[in-house]
Amino acid sequence: MRNNLTCTVALAALTAGAGVASAEDLTLCWAAWDPANALIELSKDFEEKSGHKMSFEFVPWPNFADRMLNELNSGGKLCDLMIGDSQWIGGGAENGHYVKLNDFFDAEGITMEDFIPATVTGYAEWPKNTPNYWALPAFGDVVGWTYRKDWFERPEIQEAYKAKHGHDLAVPETLDELKNIAQFFQEREIDGTKVYGAAIYTERGSEGITMGVTNALYNYGFEYGNPESPYELEGFVNSAEAAAGLEFYKTLYDTATPPGSSNWYMGENIDAYKSGQVALQMNFAFIWPGVEADPNVGGGKSGYFPNPAGPSGQFAQLGGQGISVVAYSDKQDAALEYIKWFAQPDIQARWWELGGYSALKAVVEDPGFATSQPYAQTFLDSMAIVKDFWAEPTYAELLLAMQQRVHDYVIAGNGTAQTALDGLVKDWVEVFEDDGKI
């Protein structure tokens, strides 16, 4: 197979000594967001030590999947390294887009046991729960919550909340408590300005509402299928408990979000929070360094907490990505050098310092990690409760179906939660039938 041969050739080049290899211009492809800027800074060390020149192709999140999946599907040579979304790993492996890294990891002493288990499963493995690796965990991420700690601490707000609910206003431990808090702040006046409860994911066009609603669905009992029988969806995707979770998300949207927030995702939520429109913000953890640095909401004015528990447990939607060598690259030897460099503990520690979210245990299990940033403990707690969306090669079709069904119910108000999930089962069964899985 080409992938195994490629790794063998690359390993020969690497073990022959770095001084033998000629300098290459490498292009790394990723999304355009704050962590990408941190990676540019981090990669200066690689350029200095290796002699290779790094270029970067960053695409805004709403266009990232279309642009980069088209690049991979066409066998394009733009990207030597790809930090692809976690859901791409199945297609990257089965369609031959990514180089399999097992032999390279073995030769270089890189072991997946050194990384947070959820990130190995989510970003590197295909098939899932097998020791077949197509990426190195690059950026740990998860949906969590940001809140206006300074508002929560105001005596008059504390008093009003306790009068209404009979207990102190505090970080919510359950989804019901979160809803109560968001509803409490909805249209409340603070410092002469009307504010709202929560900014949540509602975006229709890419993946937004799916990445949001799963944080309720998982905690109410939604499952992607029968754990004992893969691709058996009936009664798991559309259980009564899952329908209750979808109803919860719609209630949260209807009663505790800003007007005009029917198509919001990461950027809109950040803007609403930083501008003082909302008391709570759902968003991936990558935003927290930017929150801390913001003059309006940083410097102790904000707090962070994991996605709260529901009736069936406490889970959070996994984000984040692994870094892969693109199989169509003519510079795979140098690309593998980059992965070897990136996996080093000192580089991973620097990655965290710059605003990247390391998945290396040596970094996150360091005794000083939890107190290294105000959000560090929340990151650890959140990464311990993650679940992820389908990573099947047909994930795009599965995602589009969920986006439509969920948005039509939650935002447009069409039908019921149960009919939305019943329809989703029908859609997904068709996808898996066409794919030969059932």
Output the tens digit of pLDDT for each of the chain's 438 residues.
434 434 433 443 443 344 345 799 999 999 999 999 999 999 999 999 999 999 999 999 989 999 999 999 999 999 999 999 999 999 999 999 999 999 999 999 999 999 999 999 999 999 999 999 999 999 999 999 999 999 999 999 999 999 999 999 999 999 999 999 999 999 999 999 999 999 999 999 999 999 999 999 999 999 999 999 999 999 999 999 999 999 999 999 999 999 999 999 999 999 999 999 999 999 999 999 999 999 999 999 999 999 999 999 999 999 999 999 999 999 999 999 999 999 999 999 999 999 999 999 999 999 999 999 999 999 999 999 999 999 999 999 999 999 999 999 999 999 999 999 999 999 999 999 999 999
Distance CA(303)–CA(291), nearest Å, equals: 10
Bridge-based pairing of strands 81-85 and 25-31 is parallel
Tell me the sheet residues that pair with 319: 141
pLDDT value at position 21? 52
Asked whether residue 312 falls in the same domain as residue 322, the answer is no
- Domain encompassing residue 60: 2-141+318-387
- Residues whose CB is less than 8 angstroms from the CB of residue 323 and which lie 6 or more positions away in sequence, other chains included: 28, 81, 82, 83, 135, 136, 138, 339, 342
pLDDT value at position 154? 98
Closest CA to 328 of 43, 39, 78: 78
**CATH value at residue 376:** 3.40.190.10
418: enclosing H helix or E strand: helix 417-434
pLDDT value at position 20? 41
Q: Is residue 182 part of a domain?
A: yes
Tokens of 155: 């005596």
Asked whether residue 114 falls in the same domain as residue 26, the answer is yes
Total domain count, the chain: 2
Tokens of 60: 């805004």
Task: Please give the model's pTM, rounded to 2 decimal places.
Answer: 0.93
Is the torsion defined by CA of 68, 72, 73, 74 positive or negative?
Answer: positive
Asked whether residue 137 falls in the same domain as residue 266, the answer is no
Asked whether residue 313 falls in the same domain as residue 327, the answer is no
pLDDT value at position 96? 98
Furthest CA-CA distance within the chain = 73
Q: Is residue 370 part of a domain?
A: yes
Distance CA(275)–CA(18), nearest Å, equals: 49
136: enclosing H helix or E strand: strand 136-148
pLDDT value at position 215? 98
- Residues whose CB is less than 8 angstroms from the CB of residue 371 and which lie 6 or more positions away in sequence, other chains included: 377
Asked whether residue 14 falls in the same domain as residue 126, the answer is yes
Asked whether residue 288 falls in the same domain as residue 158, the answer is yes
pLDDT value at position 245? 98
Asked whether residue 37 falls in the same domain as residue 100, the answer is yes
Q: Is residue 157 part of a domain?
A: yes
Q: Is residue 231 part of a domain?
A: yes
Asked whether residue 137 falls in the same domain as residue 147, the answer is no
Asked whether residue 326 falls in the same domain as residue 307, the answer is no
Asked whether residue 198 falls in the same domain as residue 162, the answer is yes
Q: Could you give the C-alpha distances from 224 to 181, 248, 388, in angstroms and in order?
A: 30, 19, 10
pLDDT value at position 62? 87
Q: Is residue 35 part of a domain?
A: yes
Q: Is residue 392 part of a domain?
A: no
Asked whether the beta carbons of 198 and 280 are under 8 A apart, the reply is: yes
pLDDT value at position 273? 98
Q: Could you give the C-alpha distances from 125 to 89, 132, 195, 317, in angstroms and in order?
A: 7, 5, 43, 18
Asked whether residue 132 falls in the same domain as residue 198, the answer is no
Asked whether residue 264 falls in the same domain as residue 337, the answer is no
Q: Is residue 277 part of a domain?
A: yes
Per-residue pLDDT tens digits for 20-70? 457 999 999 999 999 999 999 999 999 999 999 999 999 999 899 999 999
Asked whether the beta carbons of 61 and 31 are under 8 A apart, the reply is: yes
